[in-house]
Structure formats: structure tokens, C-alpha cells
Amino acid sequence: MPQPGWYADPDGTPERLRWWDGTRWTENVHGGAGSVPPAGGRRRGVWPWVALVLVAGLVVAVGFGLSAGLLGTRETTPGTGVPPVAPSPRPSTPMTVPASPTTQSPLPQLPPVTAAPESPPVQKPEPYPTIPETPPAVDDVCPEPASDAASLTDGQLTLALPDDWTLVDGLTWLTCAQAATSVDQTMSVTLGVSPLPTTSLEEAAHYVWSIALLDAAIPHPLSQTSTPVSVGGLDGWMVTGTVGLHESVDELTVVVVDAGGETPSVVVTLVGTQDVEGRATIDDILNSVGPA
């Protein structure tokens, strides 16, 4: 509230002052600014309503000033009768908020950057698997296929076929190749002589396996195993695995058998992985292998 003193009469009478006792307007008025307030406390008069009106006006004025961003001292326009509003005291020392103690963990140290070791050059297997061209004619060596499709032979080995199988063209990259398929064409078997002149059964088996994948346009098998086997009492090596072929998953098997010649014989079979009876039939065919 304004300090007690003489101020312009709020009723608007020209050149007349009225005494403000610090809380309300009193009935003491005079026409000059040199008069002093009378002794004594507050007086009760007919001005309470004037004080209420003035207080309401001050509240509105202060609210308007704050909304306009006026934080300093408001000056009263002469003749309005509104006492000046003193600015609120502000602390001279700015308030500071003590920082909470924090514990900083040490950052992990990264290992020093070193150059990556040079990769060794890619070594292609020798001989590199490729589909061989059609082998030269060896009519005087390769036997004629049986007319009744009861068996297959490459001149070194012979295997028996089921009664309802049919002869088909063999793999051209096998020497003396003969082939047959089941009636529903879900199984097939091919017998021939390996195109790789080697006595290593494991090497020949992997070589023929790679060529069979290339011939069927299969980039890589779904699974693959390699193991030595015995076929018809003869030493052999088998590479078998599952392949995605003709929108199905089939089991491709390559068995290389030491038939006693300079080059081993090869048996290539194909059957569906879910065909239990067909796989049993292929096993019977492999068990029937013997010398020619």
C-alpha cells in the first residue's frame, strides 16, 4: 500500500488534497499541500466506499501493468488520484542452487586400431570342377545297355534295376554312362566311369559331386556329408546331401567304387527326401552293385 500522505482528492475536486493514512482515505481535506495530518488514529467517516473503489482500481492497475511486462515503478498521472506504487525490493545477491554431487565413471578405453591381416589368395582346387565335354567315343570298350532295362553296366560294374524302371540318356560327362528312372520319374540312377583319372576315391567322389551340382545348376547343397563306404564288397567313397531341385528337396548321392581299373566307377542317384519307399529302393540298387 502507498505511504501515508496528502494526495489529490479522489472525488476530483480541483486543487484539493485529501489525507491517505496508509490504509484508507480520511475526511481530512485542505486546499494546500503544506498542511499536516491531524493527530490521532483512524477516523471513521463516509469514505469507506471510496476506499473500496480505490483498492479495486489499484488491483486492476497492478494487474494490467504485470500483463504488459512492467516490472518497474508506475508513475501516477497528475489528477488521477491514484497513489504511486513503489517497486518491490529485490535481493541484491542472486540465488544459487548447490549442484548435486555426481560420480563420473571412467570411460572404457577402446583397443588401438590395427590394420586387418591380409587374406591369403583364394586357391582353386586342382583340378577345378567343370563340366567335362562329351567323352570320346569308346564303342569298343563301353558295353551296350541291356534291352530289357533289368540292369546297368559301365564295363567295370553292374547293378540291378527294379522291374518297372525305364532306360534314359545318361550323364554325358561320364564315360560309358547308362541311366534309368522310375515310372513316375521321382527316382533315377546313373552308372559310369569317372572322368577324373585318379586312384583316390575321395578325390574322385568330391570331383564328381561338384560336377553333378554344376550340371543341375545348383549353386550349393542344403547339406553334405562325405564318408568311406563298402559297396558290393568293394572299397568306395560316398558324398551325399540334400539339394533344392524342381521345387522339392531331393537327396543327391555320389558313390565312387574301386572296380580294379585305372579309373573308378561312379554311381549317381537322386530321390526325394520324403520318399521313404524310394530311398529304400535306392539302397537296394546300391547293394546290388558288383563286378561286371
Sequence-distant (≥ 6) Cβ neighbours of residue 254 within 8 angstroms: 205, 208, 209, 212, 238, 239, 240, 266, 267, 268
Q: Where are the domains positioned within the chain?
A: 5-67, 151-291
Among the residue ranges 9-18, 225-234, 235-244, 252-261, the one predicted with the least confidence is 9-18
Q: Which amino acid is at 283?
A: D
Residue 227's DSSP bridge partners are: 238
Residue 187's DSSP bridge partners are: 271
CB 264 within 8 A of CB 257: yes
Over residues 162-170, the mean pLDDT reads 90
- Residue 273: which region, alpha, beta or left (left: phi > 0; alpha: psi -120 to 50)? alpha
Summary mean pLDDT of the chain: 74
Q: Give the SS3 label for residue 52.
A: helix
Q: What is the pLDDT of residues 22-52, one digit of tens each?
A: 888 898 887 754 444 444 444 444 445 445 5
HEC profile for 216-282? CCCCCCCCCEEEEEEECCEEEEEEEEEEEECCEEEEEEEEEECCCCCCCEEEEEEEECCCHHHHHHH
Sheet holding 157-160, edge to edge: 151-153, 157-160, 290-291
Per-position DSSP letters for 272-285, written without gaps between them: ETT-HHHHHHHHHH
Sequence-distant (≥ 6) Cβ neighbours of residue 261 within 8 angstroms: 156, 193
Whether the pLDDT of residue 62 is over 50: the answer is: no
Residue 173 to residue 254: CA distance in whole angstroms: 14
Whether the pLDDT of residue 115 is over 80: the answer is: no
Q: Give the SS3 label for residue 59.
A: helix
Among the residue ranges 89-103, 157-171, 228-242, the one predicted with the least confidence is 89-103
Residue 254's DSSP bridge partners are: 239, 268
Residue 85's DSSP bridge partners are: 74
Reading the block at residue 2, the C-alpha cell is: 502507498
CATH topology of domain 151-291: Protein Transport Mog1p; Chain A (3.40.1000)
Residue 194 to residue 188: CA distance in whole angstroms: 18
Whether the pLDDT of residue 247 is over 50: the answer is: yes
The H-assigned helical ranges of 68-176 are none
Phi/psi at 107 (5° precision): -70, 140
